[in-house]
Amino acid sequence: RATFLPKVWESLPEPRRFVAQLKAKCGLPRDYWSERLEFLRYDTMTYVEPICETDQQASTDDTH
């Protein structure tokens, strides 16, 4: 079994190359094929929050 996060499409946008890399990650030859192969697709959600305030933001907040 192997998986790539959907973001990997950005670096491997060509489907054949994407699948070849996924098979290699799984330990299979890149050209391996079987009727029993199963591919599942999923989406992710990305949340971005600041880790901490910068010193400048903290100083500005303190003066108000």
Q: Residue 7: its pLDDT value, please?
A: 87
Pick 25 or 9 by higher pLDDT: 25
58 pLDDT more than 80? no
CA quadruple 13, 23, 32, 1: dihedral positive or negative?
negative
64 pLDDT more than 80? no
Residues 6+ apart with CB under 8 A from 5: 44
59 pLDDT more than 60? no
pTM (whole model) above 0.85:
no
